[in-house]
Structures are given as C-alpha cells and as structure tokens.
Amino acid sequence: MDWNKTKTMFIIVFLILDIFLFVQFSRQYSDSKIEQLKEDPSLEDRLKEAEITYNISFPSESIKVQYISAKTKKFTEKEIKELVNQTVTIGPNKTSLFSTFKKPEKLNSSFDPIQLETFISENMLYGNQYKYWEYDKDKNVIIFYQTYEDKQFFKNDSGQLVLILNDKNEVVSYKQTILEKMEKRGGEKALPIMTAIGNLYAKNMIFAKSEVVKAELGYYTLIPQTESQMLVPTWHFVVKHGKVADDLFVNAIDGRVIPKNDKETETETGTETEILE
C-alpha cells in the first residue's frame, strides 16, 4: 500500500469536507440574518408601518454638543432704573423681578413670535436673550425662555420671561428670571435625530399616524438648584397627532427620554450622567 497516496487522498477528502461545512455554515448564517431582519425591521420601516412621518431637516454631518453650567442672576436696583414707564419690584433673593406697565402695552392680535421678541428686546432687561415658547390661552400669558448661542433653555423656570395679558390682550405686567455666567463643559457628538425619535417611539410617546413637525437642539436642566444649574444638550421635538401637538424631549448625549412635566433627574433610570471637566 502506497502510504503517500493514501495520505494525499485523506487530505483532499478533509479539505472537501471543510469546504462543504463552511458553505453550509455560511448559508445557515445568511438565512438566520435574513430571519433576524424580518423579525427586527429597521427603525424607518417600523415608523413607516405605524404611519409615522417626519417633516424635518436632518443634519448633513454629526453635531458636537457640550454641557453648560450657569448661575442664577441677581438683579440690582441700578439695573431696574433703566426700565421706563414701569413699576418694578425685585423678588426674594433678588433672583426675579416683577414689573407692571403704567399703561397697558398693545400687541399684534396674531401674537407673531418675531414681533413679540422685538417687543421684549425693547422693553425688558436682557430681552434679546429670550425666545418665544408659547401662548398659554388658559392663563392668558405669553412665555419666553432664555437662549444661549441661539439654543433655547427648555422649560427652565430660572431663565423665563412671562408676559401677563388683560382681556384685551394687552400686556399689563411681566415676571422675569435669567441665568448668567455660562461655561461650556466637555464635548461629545449629539445623538442622531432618528435615534432620538426611535427612543420616543419605543417609550410609546409617539403614536401611530403621528407627524414629527419640528426638531431642534437646546438645553434642559440637569441639576436644578437655587444658585446654579447644569444644563444638558437636549433634542426637542414637536409631534402632531390629529389636532394635538406635543413637546417631547430626549437627552442628546445618552438618549434618555425626559418624561412630560418632569426634570431630567427624574427619568426612569435615575442614573447620573458623568460631566467632563
């Protein structure tokens, strides 16, 4: 018996067997991947199936975001002397002020945001630092929130300006708070918009047949305190479902959904986000 020929034949047989097993494994792996894709479709497919649409612009490249620390400003008697035709009172701890106009100020009946922002810039201290948020019909007030580098501080009681109207929709008074001494901290890539939308959908905060009509980056209070705050970059979405429009928020760094009417520290996980110095 020629041992060399036998050895060669064994090698060839095992080589063929290895090739056969590899091909079988590859086919099974491909089939399993196809089944996985069928069972776990892409986010876009799931949103399409739920008839959820999004009429928003997507950034062409990744966005860098940073935390912000800020201090609550204390108003001074010298500052309020700049306000004319108003009776101004500085609140407790000097961190807020309340002012009444000596004569009610007329507004455009449409409550146009640009005209309103012009009005507060001309009549309030640091008015150009605020951006229109909403008209609360039930309370008959117009709410503005402070901005930093064109990004708004969402629902922040320490950076807020509220116009109080009479039954003729004239401004009779207002109350104001503001943050100062902003400092940027850290630096990370923002969570992609689609991922944030997916997180909202997973938490059942976007319903079937809804439309995402607005997406913008701003800041939400991470650590609310009397004297200082830590603000986290946050995605703000406006989602329409029928005639109802909801404001929804997602932490733009770790992707956590911020519950309605809750602060960032009261999210489901309750974990703290590490702040990079």
Q: How much is the pLDDT for 117?
A: 95
Q: Which DSSP symbol is given to 92? A: G
The half-sphere exposure of 123 on its side-chain side, counting CA atoms within 13 A, is: 28
Residue 101 structure tokens: 């106009």
Nearest of 255, 246, 258 to residue 212 by alpha carbon: 246
Within this chain, domains 43-67+182-266 and 74-177 share the same CATH topology = no
- The burial class, CB within 10 Å (0-12 / 13-18 / 19+), for 105 is middle
The string of pLDDT tens digits covering residues 89-128 is 999 889 999 999 999 999 887 889 999 999 999 999 999 9
62 pLDDT more than 90: no
Range 43-67+182-266 has CATH code 3.30.1050.10: no
What residues does each domain of the chain span? Answer: 43-67+182-266, 74-177
Whether this prediction's pTM lies above 0.85 is answered by: no
Tokens of 260: 């309605």
- What lies within 8 Å, CB to CB, of 100 at 6+ separation is 86, 87, 172, 173
Half-sphere exposure of 26 (CA within 13 A, CB side): 6
Fold of 74-177: TATA-Binding Protein (3.30.310)
pLDDT tens by residue, 169-220: 999 999 999 999 999 988 889 989 989 999 998 888 999 989 999 999 999 9
Answer for the pair 188, 65: CB distance below 8 angstroms, yes or no: yes
